[in-house]
């Protein structure tokens, strides 16, 4: 069965998910972090793009400061040519890290023991798309998945229809033109269905459920 996929991210009021040059910005307030870490505690796998790992170096764990749980979600990384930083923090935990790569890409034996830290799944093409990732997740038995960014990965999963829910936390800050927008180019506008809104501390949470 296809996993349930929630796309989750935080942004400014003007829809930016990072500062100038892709530098991470803390958009989430305490209430949103509690929500996100609770969601992580109920998730089999968190998926991100290679740039998010190499730029932000997130741990992608459930932080007890925000939510207490012993659950450690697995991590999936979209990385066509396997150029993820082998010293990234995500690799420092006893869990599966699945890297979705293009055809024929293998771990280089001198890449800091990466081989022992990851499971590589190769697509049949020179690229990785969300359809391939979803099929592999299904084969591997994952049932609940969170997509946590960045922009390109969010754009792929949402524009290719591989999502069930989208949660966007809007922070009361304006980043301006230099910030990184939440979406990349789309061939056509995407109509998503009705929005559910709730106040979360000084920000607003928007949830969208896919209408079949
Ligand atoms: N505010 C938030 O909630 C939040 C959360 C996470 C990240 N961010 C921000 O997002 C920014 C990074 O976003 P980004 O767009 O540069 O990178 P990204 O989405 O993290 O990673 C994109 C890279 O993943 C690889 N990839 C492989 N298959 C892909 C596919 N089907 N779709 C998309 N990507 C695929 C591509 O590299 P290859 O071609 O080399 O494979 C691509 O360049 C950072 O500035 C970070 O701070 C914000």
**Segment 156-171, tens digit of pLDDT:** 999 999 999 999 999 9
Q: How many angstroms does the Cα of residue 13 sit away from the middle of ligand 1? A: 21
Q: How many angstroms does the Cα of residue 105 sit away from the middle of ligand 1? A: 19
d(Cα 163, Cα 130) in Å, to the nearest integer? Answer: 10
Tens of pLDDT, residues 31-57: 999 999 999 999 999 999 999 999 999
Q: How many angstroms does the Cα of residue 102 sit away from the middle of ligand 1? A: 16
Radius of gyration, alpha carbons of the chain: 17
Please state the rounded mean pLDDT for residues 127-152: 97
Please state the rounded mean pLDDT for residues 77-97: 96
Predicted pLDDT at 111: 65
Predicted pLDDT at 137: 98
Ligand 1 in reach of 56 Cβ (< 6 A):
yes
d(Cα 185, Cα 178) in Å, to the nearest integer? Answer: 17
Cα 208 to chain centroid distance, Å, stands at: 17
Task: Output helix, strand, coil percentages for the chain, rounded to the nearest 5.
Answer: 25, 25, 50
Residue ID of nearest Cα to ligand 1 atom 1: 17
Q: ω before 150 within 30° of 0 (cis)?
A: yes
Instruction: Give the model's confidence band at 112: pLDDT under 50 very low, under 70 low, under 90 confident, else very high.
Output: low
CB atoms within 10 A of CB 147: 27
What domains are there in the chain, each with its CATH number? 4-209 (3.40.430.10)
**19 contacts 175 by C-beta, under 8 angstroms:** yes
Q: How many angstroms does the Cα of residue 155 sit away from the middle of ligand 1? A: 9
Please state the rounded mean pLDDT for residues 70-75: 98
pTM of the model: 0.97
Please state the rounded mean pLDDT for residues 60-80: 98
d(Cα 101, Cα 77) in Å, to the nearest integer? Answer: 9
Predicted pLDDT at 116: 83
**16 contacts 181 by C-beta, under 8 angstroms:** yes
Ligand 1 in reach of 66 Cβ (< 6 A):
no
Q: To 10 degrees, the CA torsion angle through 41, 84, 154, 201?
A: 50
Ligand 1 in reach of 50 Cβ (< 6 A):
yes
Cα 96 to chain centroid distance, Å, stands at: 16
């Amino acid at each position: 069965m296809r996993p349930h996929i929630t796309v989750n991210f935080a942004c400014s009021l003007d829809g930016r998910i990072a500062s100038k040059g892709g530098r991470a910005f803390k958009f989430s307030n305490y209430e949103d972090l509690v929500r996100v870490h609770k969601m992580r505690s109920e998730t089999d796998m968190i998926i991100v793009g290679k740039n998010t790992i190499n730029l932000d170096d997130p741990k992608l764990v459930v932080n007890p400061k925000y939510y207490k749980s012993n659950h450690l979600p697995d991590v999936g990384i979209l990385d066509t040519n396997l150029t993820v930083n082998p010293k990234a923090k995500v690799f420092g935990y006893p869990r599966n890290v699945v890297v979705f790569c293009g055809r024929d890409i293998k771990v280089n034996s001198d890449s800091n023991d990466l081989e022992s830290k990851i499971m590589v799944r190769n697509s049949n093409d020179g690229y990785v798309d969300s359809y391939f990732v979803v099929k592999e997740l299904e084969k591997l038995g994952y049932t609940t998945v969170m997509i946590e960014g960045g922009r390109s990965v969010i754009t792929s999963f949402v524009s290719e229809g591989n999502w069930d829910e989208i949660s966007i936390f809007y922070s009361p800050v304006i980043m301006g033109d230099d910030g990184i927008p939440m979406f990349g180019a789309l061939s056509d506008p995407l109509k998503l269905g009705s929005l559910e809104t709730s106040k979360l501390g000084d920000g607003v949470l928007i949830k969208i459920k896919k209408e079949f």
